[in-house]
Copies of this chain bind each other. A is one copy, B any other.
Amino acid sequence: MVIITISRQFGSGGRELGRKLAAALGFDYYDKEIIAAIAENMSMDVDYVGGALDNAGLPSFTPTLGNSFAFYTTSPQTSLMLEERKVLEEIAKKGKDCVIVGRNADIILREYNPISLFVCADMESRVRRCVANAPEGEDLTAKQLEKKIRQIDKSRTLSRSMLTSAKWGRADAYNLVVNTAGWDREKLTKAVAEYVRAYINRA
């Protein structure tokens, strides 16, 4: 079984690359399905679960109930993170080749020796991509988008720091780092799929 995990800078096209890579390789694909499964298992709202997990590292998401000791009790985030681990473990235990986007799956599933990818791009390319992919009604300026991108990167750094000392975005924390700037999407998918096929037979 081969598990490919994808960490990505917001706006770099990592999610799309993951989806296309799974299709090219004939692998299962997990992304928002993970949050949906956690929400269902916990009988919670899917948007709340997504927001709480994405901001698990931020102090404002650790409610203290009147006294500071509450910090050390089980917060909703802790329960969600445990459930997230359980859902990821269940995916791995299926024993089927798959691509998992986000969720620090490279760390949580490290004993399965995943191929860990980090997908990035320069800020200009990321802003341009966000403008092109903006949901209807969103009308942020380039400056506002850059601020949003930096905030999301920061929350990903923080949520990763709860699980490992190997910093998010450090080159040597992954098996392969791909910079998407300037690439045609189909050509990039093909190039990364080739590299992954070689990686599987690397020894």
- Which residues of A come within 8 Å of B, CB atoms? 9, 118, 120-122, 169-179, 181-184, 187-188, 190-191, 194-195, 198-199, 201-203
A interface majority secondary structure: mixed
Task: Determine how many copies of this chain the complex contains.
Answer: 2
Residues on B with beta carbons closer than 8 Å to the beta carbon of A182:
202-203
* Contact (Cβ within 8 A) B202 A184: yes
* Contact (Cβ within 8 A) A172 B202: no
Question: How many Å from the CB of A178 to the closest CB on chain B?
Answer: 7
Residues on B with beta carbons closer than 8 Å to the beta carbon of A179:
172, 174-176
Query: For the complex, what is the distance from the CA of A155 to the CA of B177, rounded to whole Å?
Result: 23
Given A169-B172, A170-B169, check contact A195 B199 (CB 8 Å): no
* Contact (Cβ within 8 A) B201 A187: yes
Q: Shortest 10 CB-CB distances between A and B: which pairs?
A: A177-B177, A191-B198, A120-B172, A171-B177, A171-B171, A183-B202, A175-B179, A169-B171, A118-B171, A191-B195
Residues on B with beta carbons closer than 8 Å to the beta carbon of A181:
175
Question: How many Å from the CB of A182 to the closest CB on chain B?
Answer: 6
Ordered by A's residue number, 19 sampled pairs between the chains whose C-beta atoms are within 8 Å are A9-B172, A118-B171, A120-B172, A122-B172, A169-B172, A170-B171, A171-B171, A172-B177, A175-B179, A175-B181, A176-B176, A182-B203, A184-B202, A184-B203, A187-B202, A188-B202, A191-B195, A191-B199, A191-B202
Residues on B with beta carbons closer than 8 Å to the beta carbon of A177:
118, 171-172, 174, 176-177
Given A170-B170, A171-B118, A172-B9, check contact A194 B198 (CB 8 Å): yes
A195 contact from B173, B174, B194, Cβ within 8 A: B194
